[in-house]
Amino acid sequence: MRHMLCATALLVLAAHAVQAQDVTIPLNIERLSAKAVESVNVTVDGALLQLAAKFLSPSDPEQRAVKNLISNVKGVYVRSFEFAGPGQYSEADVDALRAQLKAPQWSRMVNVRSTRGGENVDVFFKMDKERIAGLVLIATEPHELTIVNIVGAIDLDQLASLGGYFGIPQVSVGTAHK
């Protein structure tokens, strides 16, 4: 009976741990690092985020905003690959990730497709009641692939302040250049 209780407790904890990340980076994506001329792999869980937050200055407004934002974040996962030439990854490599981002849990917020430059961006979010509980960004170019997965409560007004921290690329919201 005691072994049964331990096994049940382990299953509950394992299910909670899997739910915490919610979206997993498929193995085919992880294997792309062998083909890449440059790869970035950032995995920062909640405990490490809270530790990192202690080093942010409360007197610096930008760092204070980042600290406030990550207080409810459970993890930040970034995979970015730069390739020597086009054709080093396929759309099928990314489809396994997109397949996890389906309604009703996930909604697509942004979908940008460029046939001219081959640049594509998808941004998905997960709602929990009236709060964003997760965000996944998938950016593809002929020579690059970047995936950012932020797990936890996210304030969209503060989200841009994470750019440049924890391996998340800076995103400027302004006028588009021609």
- Cα separation, 142 vs 118, in Å, equals 6
Q: What is the pTM of this model?
A: 0.73
Cβ burial, residue 155 (10 Å; 0-12/13-18/19+): middle
- Asked whether residue 9 carries a pLDDT value surpassing 70, the answer given is no
Report the pLDDT value the prediction gives residue 121, as an integer from 0 to 100: 92
Question: What is the DSSP code string of 141-165?
Answer: ETTEEEEEEEEEEE-HHHHGGGTTS
Mean pLDDT value across the chain? 78
Between 64 and 169, residue with greater pLDDT: 64
The string of pLDDT tens digits covering residues 81-95 is 999 999 999 888 888
- When pLDDT is averaged across residues 69-87 and rounded to a whole number, the result is 89
Residues 6+ apart with CB under 8 A from 173: 160
The string of pLDDT tens digits covering residues 118-174 is 899 999 999 888 888 999 999 999 999 999 998 988 876 666 666 666 666 665 544
Residue 67 β-bridge partners: none
Angle at 147 between CA 146 and CA 149, to 5 degrees: 155
Report the pLDDT value the prediction gives residue 85, as an integer from 0 to 100: 92
- Asked whether residue 59 carries a pLDDT value surpassing 70, the answer given is yes
Q: Which residue matches tokens 């430059």?
A: 117
Tokens for 150?
Answer: 């932020």
Between 15 and 35, residue with greater pLDDT: 35
Report the pLDDT value the prediction gives residue 12, as an integer from 0 to 100: 34
Angle at 124 between CA 121 and CA 130, to 5 degrees: 145
Tokens for 164?
Answer: 């440049």
At 76, the amino acid letter reads: V
Tell me the three state secondary structure of residue 61.
helix
Report the pLDDT value the prediction gives residue 163, as an integer from 0 to 100: 66
> Which DSSP letter does residue 88 get?
S
Name the phi and psi angles at 160, rounded to 5: -60, -25
SS3 of the chain: helix, strand, coil, percent, to 5? 35, 30, 35
Report the pLDDT value the prediction gives residue 159, as an integer from 0 to 100: 65
- Asked whether residue 14 carries a pLDDT value surpassing 80, the answer given is no
- Asked whether residue 96 carries a pLDDT value surpassing 90, the answer given is no
Tokens for 46?
Answer: 């909640």
